[in-house]
């Protein structure tokens, strides 16, 4: 079993070139010019990010400074009895220890 005439050995390279062409085509889409709310720098975004307010993650972090976290004040948010995996305070280790104590009492 050998290679047939005209068989392309380096198929990965061809796929890579096709993928690169798709990526470059996607990057030529129309962009909007926006102004960052923190630093005032002008930046470009694709149409799907029309609501963008910041030019970078750094500027977003600066804008969040001094504001409370999203979960501040949500005491017990999805915790304790409200959690889907709540087992009434029993963990496997506690249950295992109790089982050992029961067996020891039975032996006496």
Asked whether residue 59 carries a pLDDT value surpassing 90, the answer given is: yes
pLDDT, one tens digit per residue, over 75-94 is 666 777 777 777 777 677 77
Give 65's pLDDT tier (boundaries 50, 70, 90). Answer: very high
pLDDT at 27: 67
- CB neighbours of residue 52 within 10 Å: 16
| Better pLDDT: 54 or 1 | 54
Domain boundaries, the chain: 33-70+77-107
pLDDT, one tens digit per residue, over 1-41 is 555 566 555 555 666 778 777 777 776 778 889 999 999 99
Alpha-carbon distances, residue 80 vs 74, 90, 91 (angstroms):
13, 12, 13
69: nearest Cα among 79, 58, 61, 78: 61
Residue whose structure tokens are 């990965």: 12
């Amino acid at each position: 079993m050998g290679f047939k005439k005209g068989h392309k050995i380096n198929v990965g390279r061809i796929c890579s070139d096709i993928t690169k062409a798709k990526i470059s085509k996607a990057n030529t889409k129309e962009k909007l010019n926006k102004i960052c709310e923190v630093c005032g720098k002008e930046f470009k975004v694709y149409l799907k990010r029309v609501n963008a307010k910041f030019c970078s993650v750094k500027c977003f972090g600066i804008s969040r400074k001094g504001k409370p976290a999203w979960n501040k004040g949500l005491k017990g948010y999805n915790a304790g009895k409200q959690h889907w995996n709540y087992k009434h305070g029993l963990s496997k280790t506690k249950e295992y220890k109790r089982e050992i104590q029961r067996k020891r009492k039975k032996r006496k």
